Amino acid sequence: MIKAILARWKQGHRTMEFPSAGLKLPPRGLGLPRLKPAGLEKAAAACPYGAIAAGEKPGLDMGRCVFCGSCARAAPDEVEFTGEYKLCVSARKDLVITGKDFKRAETLGAELRKIFGRSFKLRQVSAGGCAACEADCNVLQTIGWDLGRFGVQFVASPRHADGLLVTGPVTRNMELALRKTYAAMASPKVVIACGACAIAGGPYAGHEECVGIPPEIPVDLYIPGCPPHPLTILDGILRLIGRID
């Protein structure tokens, strides 16, 4: 017993401080893209997912981007990825980076903040996901991140949930389950689209078996990435419920 106590004492405190610790993406992590003034023709040609538009309305759509880095390697004078992990937005259109201001996710209104600000339960639905986004949500519940300290928890039943977190491109097989989960949640409720697949289909965009999140399920927070880094997910959720600004 004494050995176990000593071991725990030596291990110390394992939970990362957030956001005060100034955490950053790892060196190989790709964060907020920065567009350079050279134009985007080469970068657009290099993108296998059609996430970059050149020409009259140039921009990089983080909703479609899988952060593979091909564009930055092919056209370093046009695109650069920074280490910035704060990528979440409230409106789909704000995921398109144009080189001007980037509009981060907004906090819920005062009424909802009062309800969810200190206790926010999420039901996760993997709607055809590959398990990468799911794994990065899962890691937030480990001792290193300790999502529960912010009052945020994943729960097993939609009846207990305040928010629905969707991963995956929403396959036909999962569409009904997603609709039923949303319907089973009490109002008010919020919806989070986590990862490129949930936002825009990811690598499966346009596939006949992928239908996307139905318009009757309105999304309040978009978390881009493939998968999003846990820092990005945590930042987005806490920003949404007003725990950070």
Distance set, CA 63 to CA 7, 74, 175 (Å): 45, 20, 20
Extended beta strands in the chain, E state:
33-35, 52-53, 59-61, 79-81, 96-97, 120-126, 152-154, 163-167, 190-194, 221-223
Binding-site size, ligand SF4 (CB under 6 A):
13
Q: What is the DSSP letter of 189?
A: -
Closer to ligand SF4 at the Cβ: 61 or 220? 61
The separation between CA 244 and the C-alpha centre of its own chain, rounded to angstroms, equals 16
Q: What is the DSSP letter of 3?
A: H
Least CB distance to ligand SF4 at residue 52 (A): 5
Least CB distance to ligand SF4 at residue 84 (A): 15
Contact call for residue 205 and ligand SF4 (CB under 6 A): no
Closer to ligand SF4 at the Cβ: 50 or 188? 50
Least CB distance to ligand SF4 at residue 67 (A): 5
Least CB distance to ligand SF4 at residue 73 (A): 8
Closer to ligand SF4 at the Cβ: 48 or 218? 48
Ranges within 20-49 binding ligand SF4 (CB under 6 A): 46-47, 49
Query: Residue 150, exposed/middle/buried by CB under 10 A (0-12, 13-18, 19+)?
Result: buried
Least CB distance to ligand SF4 at residue 30 (A): 7
Closer to ligand SF4 at the Cβ: 52 or 238? 52
Least CB distance to ligand SF4 at residue 47 (A): 3
Sign of the alpha-carbon torsion through 184, 189, 191, 192 = negative
Residues paired with residue 96 on neighbouring β-strands, in sequence order: 61
Closer to ligand SF4 at the Cβ: 163 or 228? 228
Per DSSP, the three-state class of 169 is coil
Least CB distance to ligand SF4 at residue 50 (A): 8
Q: Binding string, 56-95, against ligand SF4, x = CB under 6 A?
A: ----x----xxxxxxx------------------------
Q: How far is residue 134's CA from residue 24's CA, in Å, rounded to a whole number?
A: 21
Q: How far is residue 74's CA from residue 78's CA, in Å, rounded to a whole number?
A: 9
Nearest alpha carbon to residue 42 among 56, 55, 23, 27: 55
Closer to ligand SF4 at the Cβ: 163 or 168? 168
Closer to ligand SF4 at the Cβ: 96 or 190? 96
Residues near ligand SF4, by CB under 6 A? 46-47, 49, 51-52, 60, 65-71
